[in-house]
Amino acid sequence: MPSALRTAPRIAVLPPGDAALTKAAGAAVEAGGGVVVDPDEAEALVWTSAGMDPETTAAALRDVLGRHRGIRWVQLPWAGVELYAEAGLLDHDHLWTCAKGVYGKPVAEHALTLTLACFRHLKAFSRAEGWSGQAGQTLFGRRVTIFGGGGIAHELVRLLGPFGCQVTVVRKRADPLDDARVLGWDRRNDALGDADAVILALALTEENSYFFASPQFEAMAAHACLVNVARGRHVVTDDLVEALSTGAIAAAGLDVTDPEPLPDGHPLWALDNCLITPHTANTEAMATPALAARITDNVHRFAAGETLEGLVDPDLGY
């Protein structure tokens, strides 16, 4: 056995609230060659709380790190880390990793599902109580713009391949991506006018909060749809309601909203051209085994002194 693997990494798994997830995370640590210990003995921490209450979750993690100075690496549970970035927790004193790239397949699948549902008018048809006229368009050969260049975008480009779509990806840096035209963030509005579908699949940062508003809807074609599987705060909700109500765009498929949960009686619920799913692109049943695999892999890497997967850049916030 290599010398770098002689000492099993000492890893705490916190908080203990979700018994099933905590148990799965602990088993994943052990499968990676680590040992689960109390936080006062730990050199690393697997944090299992996504936090429906951001302030409470951030405060709890800050307290753990403040009281246990031996922790050097923190594994966060989901791909999005804006909760921790906005709380000022992402520092250079710790090595931070998250689950980015892990959930790409199920979220991309859901994005494709919402896109097809928008194209085929499924929200309106599902509400119908009688036979109606024909409506809908095909996805084959269409132009699709994806905002975001991470794991979800990569999977979406692959899934759209059989449809013969012309795909444009808008990302922070215009690095090449197979089977897609790539534009940098400074050209983000250039990718809207000829798109039949626009899909948001990017990390939430201060720079792109509420970046999709009336000017972007006005730039889209009237037959186009918007799909959001990223974060609700990318979109100005009132402007989306206006765009859907006036026919500025044809439809929207939303797995995330602002606010979230979307209150009962909100105007979006009543629109026949807006299909909403309750943040289910990646359910806990899908997420737990995928996260466990990432934990196991990263514990192996941590023990061997190798580069970890899903590294978070504290300066970029993702």
Hey, which residues are catalytic here? 231, 260, 279
Q: Which residues pair with 252 in a beta bridge?
A: 226, 274
CA–CA gap between residue 40 and residue 199 (Å, rounded): 44
